[in-house]
Structure 1
Amino acid sequence: MSYIIDRRLNAKNKSTVNRQRFLRRYRAHIKKAVSEAVGRRSIKDMDKGEQIGIPTRDISEPQLHHGQGGRQTRVLPGNDQFISGDKIPRPPGGGGGGGSGEGNASNSGEGMDEFVFQITQEEFLDFMFEDLALPNMVKRQLSGNEEFKTRRAGFSNYGTPGQINIIRSLRSANARRIALTSSKRRQIRALETELEQEQEKDNILKDPNKIEALTSEILSLKNRIKRVPWLDDFDIKYNLHAKYPVPHSKAVMFCLMDVSGSMSQATKDMAKRFFILLYLFLQRNYEHTEVVFIRHHTSAKEVDEEEFFYSRETGGTIVSSALYLMKDILSDRYPLSEWNVYGAQASDGDNWNDDSTTCSKLLIDEIMPKVQYYSYIEITPRQHQALWEEYESVAKTFSDTFAMQQIVDVTDIYPVFRQLFQKRTA
């Protein structure tokens, strides 16, 4: 049997490199398992890791080996049936089989379970929100306390010891020494030439006093050069860093949920699942995103995250109360010059009398011109009612920024969520 050994160099953290390679190779299996896990999980376990099972047949590695057949001229040790020269019939079939048992049920032999491994919370969320993005996000005017990024901005004569640039400092010191001693070195070269000429004269013509004077002057100049410091405070250069503002896109997401009496507990749980997915997506991918939670029945109220997901308040149904509150909060706290505005609304479609017409008018006249994207999901197995029909007119007017989908059961939540926030190519 032949073995293929991969001797390519890995990074220091070899196990991490191998794990990432494994995750890339079986991405399709993992994404399918993540999609199924989202549907069966409870609300509290939505952001935890997951056990992924891959069928053994999908992770089997190819094996290269020699098959049976060909001319064989050897006799195996321990043989008591054949002698050299006997002809043995070729065994039927082709190459030798090296397969392993599958995990399928059978009445003979043993099988192998599927390969199961654990992905972390980070990896689970990466696969869950892959290729998703808030649509139409643009950079707005910066205001207030902004982020700054430090960049190199040359060199300075002042700084801390940790910012010393050694190469620049040594270069400056060398340049200073050359500048301060160049004239003296020229004088030394001239005096040495004159001393050499004087020493080459005949003994009669030599002037010992002149030779002594030249030697003394050369020695004096060399001592003066030696007294030039090798490194001076003036030579030390420091790396200079400057802060530059980092442009970022601030966004606010309005989450509007119907908690009226027509919404059964199962319907409310599906709405909460959708908004938890949305909340996790925003928290993970957008640092500068604020979330405004609005619950409504006959009246609307802004609440915090805990009350939004776990309160059991109920009542009648007036959907426009949530839209009016969203409009007021938007005008008071989120100027359009600074914020990208998004909205997500979940309801079962029931509404009070003619309030659906008021909702569509509010969206068309007041809200949709100010938002980057608005999504409406209707959680009901029944036929659509007046609210859906009114929202269809909004979708026709704002076809690029308004989207609506229906959810019938829990398994529809994740596919609908991905469809609403799928990353769009420019």
Structure 2
Amino acid sequence: MANFIDRRLNAKGKSTVNRQRFIERYKKQIKKAVSDAVTRRSVTDIDKGEKISIPTRDISEPLFRQGQGGKRNRVHPGNDQFNRGDQIQRPRGGGQGGAGQGDASDSGEGNDDFVFNISKDEYLELLFEDLELPNLQNNRLNKLVEYQTYRAGFTNDGVPANINIVRSLRSSLARRIAMSASKKRALRELEAELEQLQDMPGSKAEKILALKEQIEQLKKQIANVPFIDTFDLRYNNYAKREKPSSQAVMFCLMDVSGSMDQATKDIAKRFYILLYLFLTRSYKNLEVVYIRHHTQAKEVDEHEFFYSQETGGTIVSSALKLMNEIQQARYPENEWNIYAAQASDGDNWSDDSPHCHDLLAKYILPKVRYFSYIEITHRAHQTLWDQYQDLQQQFDNIAVQHIREVEDIYPVFRELFKKQAV
């Protein structure tokens, strides 16, 4: 089996394959750091890269030591104290020697954590790994597009991990044949001529010597043809193509009533920003409808949804009514995959919560692929939570989750949109 050793100078992006191997090896620690970063960041910085810190104990390599006892010979380089047969005293302290420092010590010395930066794309890839829109089904294959990686032939440039051994060896063989075929033909002719001269009596020694020099020179030229060259290397080429899928729409319903204080609104915004990043990164041309509500509901654009300061009382059914009206007018259920994500603190007029139950049960849940509701509160759950819990027992396309702190956002998000087992 041929072994390829890449001795080229380290070019830009050359360490990409090692970087990916490192991320794959320590994915558990990196994903934990990424999920922690989501809760620490401000709303405007949630989609940027991240500086990852991994404890040294997690990346330390195994160390092999010889156990006590037994008879063995050792070579101590630089020995200027002992001769053969001398007895070496046992080290003071009675413990085995080891390499490296501990994480902490009473002398103030220790090892720092290993810190490195991941890019925005790597950050988002880890953030939304193994997530999908649940229950997505084929309707009209003309709008929503997913990206699928596929083999796209071969290329002359690439990273070592994608090298194609067979293609590279085939190219190397073709180059060596082309570069040495004429020389080998000339070598055979000179060897035949030399054999004839050596068999003939009275041949001139000078001519035989000249032929031998030519033969040696041709052999050196043939031997100098490299077995593998940079021009021979071929790499597997991968590209992304659009994978047609059904068209889909996501309704985002956010409570902005007076009971939603600034901290609660901030948690809701973080959740919706995560949802927006997930949808725009994973799906192309998926439409998003933003609805804000207090006593009245209103369809707004992306900027107003996240930054408007409007507030008021609470009538949750107003948002569900508006969603149903928009869906009927613009997104027929036989042509669209309909999704909805609602965030609220659970505070609602007591007589409006049963109305929300009826709207969902009769008009919305029979049409949507998936309806997710998150309640952001430290208080005890009220009537709205009970109504949604009851719907969860009746329908399998609604999920109800509770968020108390900022740290709960990402785990709840992953639970709502985790990839379903086939």
TM-score normalised by length of structure 1:
0.69
What corresponds to 1:370 in structure 2?
Answer: 367
Output the CA distance in 2 between the equivalents of 1:250 and 1:61: 49
Counterpart of 1:293 in 2: which secondary structure?
strand
Q: Which residue of 1 is the match for residue 29 of structure 2?
A: 29
Residue aligned with 1:377, SS: strand
Report the 3-state secondary structure (helix = DSSP H, G, I; strand = E; otherwise coil) of the residue aligned with 1:135.
coil
Work out whether residues 144 and 246 of structure 2, in 8 Å CA contact, stay in contact via their aligned partners in 1.
no
Cα–Cα, structure 1 residues 336 and 112, in superposed 2: closer, same or farther, change >3 Å? same
How many angstroms does 1:97 deviate by? 3.8
State the aligned residue count.
Answer: 323
Unpaired runs of at least 5, structure 1? 1-5, 150-244
1:268-347 residue pairs with structure 2 within 5 A? Answer: 268-347=265-344
Provide the residue aligned with 2:138 in structure 1.
Answer: 139
- Write the mapping of 1:9-408 to structure 2, written as runs, cut at 5 A: 14-63=14-63, 70-72=71-73, 79=80, 83-88=83-88, 97-104=97-104, 106-108=105-107, 110-143=109-142, 247-398=244-395, 400-408=396-404
Calculate percent identity across the aligned residue pairs.
60
Shift of residue 72, structure 1, vs aligned partner: 4.5
What does residue 166 of structure 1 align with? Answer: none
Deviations 1:325-356 (A, max 9, x none): 10011011112222110001011111124111
CA positional deviation for 1:70: 4.1
- Kept after mapping to 2: 8 A contact 1:320/1:358: yes
- The DSSP-based 3-state class of the residue aligned with 2:366 is helix
Distance of 2:390 and 2:78 partners within structure 1: 88
CA distance in 1 between partners of 2:296 and 2:287 (Å)? 23
Question: Aligned partner of 1:417: which letter?
Answer: F
Structure 1 contact 254–342 (Cα < 8 Å) conserved: yes
CA contact (8 A) 2:339 2:368 kept: yes
- Whole-Å separation in 2 of the counterparts to 1:421 and 1:89: 65
| Cα gap change, 1:145 to 1:385, in 2 (>3 Å) | closer
CA distance in 2 between counterparts of 1:262 and 1:319 reads 12
CA contact (8 A) 1:297 1:316 kept: yes
| 1:379–1:407 contact (8 Å) kept in structure 2 | yes
SS of 1:370 mapped into structure 2 = coil
Matched-pair contact (CA < 8 Å) for 1:372–1:401: yes
Indicate if the aligned counterparts of 1:259 and 1:296 stay in contact, CA closer than 8 A.
Answer: yes
Aligned partners of 2:260 and 2:345 also within 8 Å: yes
Query: Is the Cα contact below 8 Å between 1:10 and 1:17 reproduced in 2?
Result: no
Letter in 2 for 1:279: Y
Q: Indicate conservation of the 8 Å contact 2:373/2:400, yes or no.
A: yes
Structural RMSD (CA): 3.2
Contact 1:66–1:95, Cα closer than 8 Å, also in 2: no
Q: Partner of 2:310: helix, strand, or coil?
A: coil
User: Rg: which structure is higher?
Assistant: 1
| One-letter code aligned to 1:323 | L
1: CA distance, partners of 2:7 / 2:249: 43
Q: CA deviation at 1:142?
A: 3.4
Q: Deviations over 1:352-404 (max 9, x none)?
A: 24111111100000000100000111111111111111112211211x20110
- Runs of 4+ with deviation above 3 angstroms: 6-14, 62-80, 82-98, 142-147
AA matched with 2:388: Y
1:76–1:136 distance in 2 versus 1, CA, 3 Å: closer
Which moved further from structure 2: 331-340 or 320-329?
331-340
Deviates more, 1:87-96 or 1:327-336: 87-96
Residue aligned with 2:333, SS: coil
| One-letter identity of the residue aligned with 1:108 | S
Q: Secondary structure of the equivalent of 1:57?
A: helix
Aligned with 2:416 (options 391, 397, 420):
420
- Residues 289-308 of structure 1: CA distance to partner in whole angstroms, max 9, x if unpaired? 11100000111000011100
SS of residue paired to 2:292: strand
Mapped to 2, the partners of 1:131 and 1:381 lie a distance apart of: 30
Deviation at 1:86, TM superposition (A): 3.9
